[in-house]
Amino acid sequence: MASHAHHSDEFDPTADIPKPQTKVIWKTFFILVAITAVEFAFAFMMDPGTLRNAIFIGLTILKAFYIVAEFMHLKHETKGLIWAVLVPTVLLIWLLVALLVEGTFYGESVFNYFN
């Protein structure tokens, strides 16, 4: 920001550049790696089932939160923007639930066609 006035035309390597502030970035990275490791632990140490799937989906949403909130910086935007992005995704949950139910019904009708 301070560099506008005197050297706006060419890059000057001697200009003052503030120190990087990367603590939060690396912290977020380690959280994401840790969650992924936990996901693998569940994949190999727990039998498949509804509970395991629920854990996977919960951890996925947690990972998504860290990516969107910190990496995409949404947490630090205005409330209006946060809601404008998040609210429409509710429709996706509806779509998902509706079509999973539909898929089960469709499969059952095909499997029991001659009964």
Q: Which residues of this protein are in contact with another protein, per CB under 8 A?
A: 1, 3-4, 8-11, 13, 15, 17-18, 20-22, 25-26, 28-29, 32-33, 36, 39-40, 43-44, 48, 53, 56-57, 59-60, 63-64, 67-68, 70-72, 77-78, 80-81, 84-85, 88-89, 91-92, 95-96, 99-100, 102-104, 106-107, 110-111
Residue 77's SS3 state is coil
What is the smallest separation between the CB atom of 47 and another protein, expressed in angstroms?
A: 8
Residue 19's SS3 state is coil
* CB-nearer residue toward another protein: 22 or 115: 22
User: From CA 20, how far away is CA 1, in angstroms rounded?
Assistant: 15
Closest of 21, 16, 32 to residue 68, by C-alpha: 32
What is the smallest separation between the CB atom of 86 and another protein, expressed in angstroms?
A: 9
What is the smallest separation between the CB atom of 75 and another protein, expressed in angstroms?
A: 13
User: From CA 12, how far away is CA 7, in angstroms rounded?
Assistant: 7
What is the smallest separation between the CB atom of 80 and another protein, expressed in angstroms?
A: 5
Closest of 97, 59, 65, 61 to residue 82, by C-alpha: 65
